Amino acid sequence: MPAPALSISHLRKVYARGTVAVEDISLTVPEGEFFAFLGPNGAGKSTTIHCITGIAEPTAGKIEIFGIDAVKDYREARRLVGLCPQEFNVDPFATPRQIVDWMGGYFGMAAKARKERTDMLMERFELILHQKKQFRELSGGLKRRVVLARALIHDPKLIILDEPTAGVDVELRRVLWRYLAEINKDGKTILLTSHYLEEVERLCRQIAIVNKGLVVREGTKDEMVGEPGGLEQAYLVATGAQADHVAAE
Ligand code: ADP
Ligand code: MG
């Protein structure tokens, strides 16, 4: 059996001031999967992603990326992951080309390989017209595309997207969906967090719902969509939200 793209076992993260952001999360994402990681604000999604990508250090538990320990063998594991963080952590004065190229440098790619790959990504995400503008001048949807291109510069096998379509208008969201579906079709494994259940329904095949640092429901998209009330009801019930609204339907 090949190692899964991502395996999280009893992850726990307590921040310095005692906030238990992740209580106990275990997840397995097989290679090639399009996996939704859902939950209300504060559930611990971004913290889990930060632990996977070395931004935060787990308090306990084990994370493996294609069988490689994400903490002990951080550099080797990190190279396999492309991350689109929830917040834009870029130099607002840099251009899309620079932003993408610098990430290639971070992963130790040679200049020629970076240039070829950056050219391809600018083309693929329709950024050619904008590649020499400053990041701060771009619309929200274009910024998301730049960050997506940056996540792919080193040709990672696992792509993690933390609310990639938050604040993006309907039309550009559809463009992003197309890109994400294509990336998955190319064989890349995707882990997506989102508050847009329509997006999850369209794109994802497997779903884990977290609440208060615990996985409260896991299953296939088809199974949850097929229940009375569909994915929205499954989500609301799992997270214990708005019980009266659910009951009234
Ligand atoms: P989500 O991404 O699901 O909205 P987060 O992982 O961002 O959830 O947050 C989980 C909990 O951890 C929240 O209570 C949040 O306030 C807290 N938290 C997140 N980041 C930090 C941090 N760097 N330091 C302290 N507490 C944090
Ligand atoms: Mg978050």
Question: Could you tell me the maximum CA-CA distance found in the chain, to the nearest angstrom?
Answer: 61
Instruction: Please give the number of the atom of ligand 1 that sits closest to the Cα of 50.
Output: 6
Question: Is 192 in the same domain as 244?
Answer: yes
Query: What's the pLDDT tens digit per position in 169-204?
Result: 888 889 899 999 999 999 999 999 999 999 999 999
Tell me, yes or no, whether 183 and 248 share the same domain. Answer: yes
Last residue in a domain, options 120, 155, 190: 155
Residue 165 and residue 232 in one domain: yes
Asked if residue 108 has pLDDT above 60, the reply is yes
Of 194, 141, 139, nearest to 163 by C-alpha is 194
Look at the chain and count its residues. Answer: 249
- Write out pLDDT tens, residues 16-29: 999 999 999 999 99
pLDDT value at residue 119:
97
Q: Is pLDDT of 244 > 60? A: no
Task: Confirm if 173 and 132 have CB atoms less than 8 A apart.
Answer: no
Same domain, residue pair 149 and 164: no
Look at residue 155 in the predicted model and tell me its pLDDT. Answer: 96
Shared-domain flag, residues 146 and 108 = yes
Residues 56 and 148 in one domain: no
Structure tokens given for 211 = 């609440």
How many whole angstroms separate alpha carbon 207 and alpha carbon 191? 10
pLDDT in the model for residue 169: 84
Q: Which of 155, 174, 199 is the last residue of a domain?
A: 155
Tell me, rounded to whole angstroms, the distance of Cα 188 from its chain centroid: 12
Same domain, 163 and 74: yes
Determine the pLDDT at residue 171.
85
Domain that holds residue 100: 88-155
Q: Write the residue with the smallest CA distance to atom 9 of ligand 1.
A: 42
Q: How many helices (H) and strands (E) does the chain have?
A: 10, 10
What is the number of the ligand 1 atom nearest to the C-alpha of 22?
Answer: 10
| pLDDT at residue 245 in the model | 53
- 125 and 179 in contact (C-beta within 8 Å)? yes
What pLDDT was estimated at residue 194?
95
115 and 69 within one domain: no
Sequence-distant (6+) residues with CB within 8 A of 97 are 118, 122, 131, 132
Residue 202 host element (H or E): helix 197-203
Distances (CA, A) of 202 to 107, 196, 225: 32, 10, 11
- The answer to whether residue 68 scores a pLDDT higher than 60 is yes
Mean pLDDT of all residues in the chain? 94
- Which ligand places an atom closest to the C-alpha of 45? 1
13 and 107 part of one domain: no
The CATH number linked to 8 is 3.40.50.300
Q: Is residue 145 located within the same domain as residue 176?
A: no
Answer whether residue 247 shows pLDDT above 60: no
Give the residue whose CA is nearest to atom 20 of ligand 1.
Answer: 47
Tell me, what's the pLDDT at 154?
97
113-123 per-position pLDDT tens digit? 999 999 999 99
Give percent of the chain above pLDDT 70. 97
Flag whether pLDDT at 143 surpasses 80. Answer: yes
User: pLDDT digits over 58-67, tens only?
Assistant: 999 999 999 9
Global pTM value: 0.95
For ligand 1, is residue 45 a contact (CB within 6 Å)?
A: yes
74 and 163 belong to one structural domain: yes
Percentage above 90 pLDDT, the chain: 90
CA 21 / ligand 1 centre spacing (Å): 6
101-119 average pLDDT score: 97
- For residues 122-148, give the mean pLDDT: 94
Please indicate, yes or no, whether residues 164 and 150 belong to a single structural domain of this protein.
Answer: no
Of the ligands numbered here, which is closest to the C-alpha atom of 86? 2
> Which ligand approaches the C-alpha of residue 22 most closely?
1
**pLDDT of residue 11 exceeding 90:** yes
What's the total number of domains in the chain?
A: 2
pLDDT confidence bin for 249, thresholds 50/70/90: very low
Listed residues 155, 185, 206: the one ending a domain: 155
